[in-house]
Amino acid sequence: MKRAVFLDRDGVIIEAVIHNGKPYPPASVSDARITEGFYTVLQKISAAGFIIIGITNQPDVARGLQSQKAVEEINQYLVNVLPIETIFVCFHDDKDACSCRKPKPGLIYEAAAVFDIDLANSYMVGDRWKDIEAGKNAGCKTVFVDYGYAEKQPKGYDFSIQKPAAIADIILASEVENGVSG
């Protein structure tokens, strides 16, 4: 089985758009800003033997505020320019009660089935409580990118960092500490 690093899209792979202390997705590819230094971060993770997969909730599609095409264009751009295998997307809103919307682990389970991933030796990285809960619910180790958003904060994560640029360092140090190698 393979190991993976699952990354939330908005706020981890790309910068979230912040309004009143809360994060929102960019509207288009031209608005998407890859997090500073992230290509190097992903290269380090990939070199350590991890598959890199995006996991994202995009409820603005269900809410009629964003087109599915715009979301898919952003995702395709990211897969084209970064060493990311693919991005799994939930287009539903909470009221849809689907199994794929974080904090439920459906997208992580789907990715694990497609890529034969050992979830117990994988990581979920996110900047919101739903990302961390999804990772915990799937049995992954979790890394919380703490931007201090004005919203519910996660609990029970394994690691906390202030900037996505620290993701590779925290994961690789954890792997060394636990005697795991690619």
10 is catalytic: yes
Pairing type for strands 50-57 and 22-24 reads unpaired
Q: Return d(Cα 175, Cα 48) in angstroms, integer.
A: 9
State the residue for tokens 């690619």. Answer: 182
Cα distances from 58 to residues 12, 32, 166, in angstroms, run: 14, 14, 25
> In terms of Cα–Cα distance, which of 145, 171, 174, 173 is closest to 46?
171
DSSP 111-166: HHHHHTB-GGG-EEEESSHHHHHHHHHHT-EEEEE----SSPPP-S-SEEESSGGG
For residues 22 and 149, is the Cβ–Cβ distance under 8 A?
yes
DSSP state at residue 92? -
Active site residue 127: no
From 8, 60, 127, 131, active-site residue: 8
Active site residue ranges: 8, 10
